[in-house]
Amino acid sequence: MATAALDSDVKDIGLASQGKLRIEWADRMMPVLRLIRQRFTEEKPLAGVRIAACLHVTSETANLMRTLKEGGADAVLCASNPLSTQDDVAASLAADYGIPVYAIKGEDEQSYYGHIDAALDHQPHITMDDGCDLVTVAHKQRPDVIENMLGGTEETTTGVIRLRSMEENGVLRYPIVAVNEANTKHLFDNRYGTGQSSLDGILRLTNILLAGHTVVVCGYGWCGRGIAARAKGAGANVIVTEVNPLNALEAAMDGYLVMPLLDAAAQGDLFITVTGNAHVLDGQHFAAMKDGAIVANAGHFNIEINIPALRDLAASTAIVREQVEEFTLANGNRISLLSDGRLVNLSGAEGHPASVMDMSFANQALSAEFVVGNHDELENRVYTVPTEIDAGVARLKLDAMGLAIDTLTPEQEKYLSSWEEGT
Ligand code: ADE
């Protein structure tokens, strides 16, 4: 039964004490965000700013929300995915930190969108989105909230693609900073975060051995690169499938087999989609798979695996473990679908580790501050994170990791800024 507390809708407020411990555990591994929080506590750069965040409700997100609140913001949080909410964290945010949360793990579509509406009822000045659902609802169903908006931020590749389409079609009605485009975001979160957490989710759900098995990674963007590297490191034979020739070439030179998905379908033991596109694994692929194949998605939306097509092919289905649905096809082969095709790292495990979310959420907090300080000059466009913020996050993370680097000598600086010297 859902509990309403502090204008929140969470599963059970009684879970708060367990959630608080998890939030504090994650915080130990988020030194950059902690530094920002200390400065925000003193300077209050977000004073009086209402923020609606639509993010995965995890212990890492909780520490971002605390940071926004310490910065003076009046912030609320709803889930950016129906399966990724950590109910104990949601409870603690509401009960211990006084931050309204609308999120329940496993909520249905009506509840999911009801929670987005509740976040927009907060009349935000800033939206903080992961996948663009909040911005889409604001634009399509809630024009009443647009007038107050100073700007927004977007966390993920899929969301940025949608926002660029809105910009190109001239429908975007306030500026958005694409946090995903920061180097200190996608080079680390998408690659090392998704790489580790996706396999973590798959292993927790199935307990399969990767060594000696064939893993097919569909898509070789930053997330696909991360998953392929980690699967290879665990001893799997990795096949990469791609539609982009450059990415395919890179995969081949990184040492993976590259082939069309239909060829890979007959070879794979485990398939992981991470393309951002629809129906990557489709009926023809399921029909070609071996008995016992496992399919999982690590892309933002649950459209990468054509589940209706899988259902059509199935003679019967059964839930054989938590979040594992086994489809028995007419030819007798069994295919297991994980987490109903939703983000396997957040539904089957806990999402990316805090150390890497530290950089992503440092960019989020600083981008919100940037929007507040610069909204007068911004147009209704998608902006990249300012280079100073991105480079600053890298420096702080290096410091926190106790890593020192060299600096250019005056002679080297002069050399780099000159053009006359040749052979
Ligand atoms: N996206 C991926 N991992 C995440 C996490 N741990 N918290 C919030 N968003 C995430």
In contact, 201 and 341? CB cutoff 8 Å: no
Whether residues 88 and 170 share a domain: the answer is yes
Whether residues 335 and 258 share a domain: the answer is yes
Whether residues 249 and 370 share a domain: the answer is no
Calculate how far, in angstroms, residue 60's C-alpha sits from the geometric centre of ligand 1. Answer: 7
Q: What is the mean predicted confidence (pLDDT) over 1-26?
A: 86
Whether residues 120 and 216 share a domain: the answer is no
User: Could you tell me which of 351, 294, 300 has the C-alpha nearest to residue 323?
Assistant: 294
Output DSSP code: residue 179: G
CATH number of the domain bearing residue 299? 3.40.50.720
In contact, 152 and 371? CB cutoff 8 Å: yes
Whether residues 303 and 380 share a domain: the answer is no
Q: What is the mean predicted confidence (pLDDT) over 14-33?
A: 98
Whether residues 216 and 306 share a domain: the answer is yes
In contact, 241 and 217? CB cutoff 8 Å: yes
270 occurs within a structural domain: yes
255 occurs within a structural domain: yes
260 occurs within a structural domain: yes
289 occurs within a structural domain: yes
User: Could you tell me which of 147, 149, 134, 126 has the C-alpha nearest to residue 73?
Assistant: 126
Q: Is the pLDDT of residue 1 over 50?
A: no
Q: What is the mean pLDDT of the chain?
A: 97
Calculate how far, in angstroms, residue 329's C-alpha sits from the geometric centre of ligand 1. Answer: 34
Q: What is the mean predicted confidence (pLDDT) over 313-327?
A: 98
Which domain does 278 fall in, by range?
191-347
| CA dist., res. 130 & res. 155, Å (int) | 5
Q: Is the pLDDT of residue 233 over 50?
A: yes
Model confidence over 335-372: pLDDT tens digits?
999 999 999 999 999 999 999 999 999 999 999 999 99
- Total count of domains within the chain: 2
- What pLDDT is attached to residue 421? 78
Q: How confident is the model at residue 423 (pLDDT cuts 50, 70, 90)?
A: confident
Whether residues 110 and 198 share a domain: the answer is no
Task: For ligand 1, pick from 360, 361, 363 the residue to mutate: most ligand atoms within 8 Å of CB.
Answer: 360
Which residue's alpha carbon is nearest to atom 9 within ligand 1? 56
In contact, 264 and 172? CB cutoff 8 Å: no
| Residues contacting ligand 1 via CB (< 6 Å) | 55-56, 58, 60-61, 193, 346, 351-352, 357
Q: Is the pLDDT of residue 140 over 90?
A: yes
Measured from the Cα of 194, ligand 1's closest atom is 2
Q: What is the mean predicted confidence (pLDDT) over 47-76?
A: 98
96 occurs within a structural domain: yes
Model confidence over 7-17: pLDDT tens digits?
899 999 999 99
- What pLDDT is attached to residue 365? 98
Calculate how far, in angstroms, residue 56's C-alpha sits from the geometric centre of ligand 1. Answer: 6
Tokens of 165: 């389409």
Q: Is the pLDDT of residue 66 over 50?
A: yes
Whether residues 228 and 112 share a domain: the answer is no
Tokens of 7: 């204008």
Q: Is the pLDDT of residue 74 over 50?
A: yes
Task: For ligand 1, pick from 54, 55, 84 the residue to mutate: most ligand atoms within 8 Å of CB.
Answer: 84
User: Could you tell me which of 407, 364, 417, 378 has the C-alpha nearest to residue 61?
Assistant: 364
Whether residues 383 and 282 share a domain: the answer is no
221 occurs within a structural domain: yes
Measured from the Cα of 197, ligand 1's closest atom is 3
CATH number of the domain bearing residue 115? 3.40.50.1480
User: Could you tell me which of 33, 85, 31, 94 has the C-alpha nearest to residue 59?
Assistant: 85
Whether residues 331 and 391 share a domain: the answer is no
User: Could you tell me which of 271, 223, 232 has the C-alpha nearest to residue 254?
Assistant: 232
Choosing from 286, 313, 347, the residue where a domain stops is: 347
| CA dist., res. 280 & res. 196, Å (int) | 22
Q: How many residues does the chain have?
A: 423
Measured from the Cα of 156, ligand 1's closest atom is 1
415 occurs within a structural domain: no
Q: Is the pLDDT of residue 213 over 90?
A: yes
Q: Is the pLDDT of residue 304 over 60?
A: yes
Whether residues 176 and 284 share a domain: the answer is no
Q: What is the value of pTM for the model shown?
A: 0.95
Calculate how far, in angstroms, residue 345's C-alpha sits from the geometric centre of ligand 1. Answer: 9
- What pLDDT is attached to residue 2? 52
Calculate how far, in angstroms, residue 350's C-alpha sits from the geometric centre of ligand 1. Answer: 8
Calculate how far, in angstroms, residue 330's C-alpha sits from the geometric centre of ligand 1. Answer: 38
**Burial category of 35 from C-beta neighbours within 10 Å (exposed 0-12, middle 13-18, buried 19 and up):** middle
- What pLDDT is attached to residue 369? 98
Whether residues 58 and 175 share a domain: the answer is yes
419 occurs within a structural domain: no
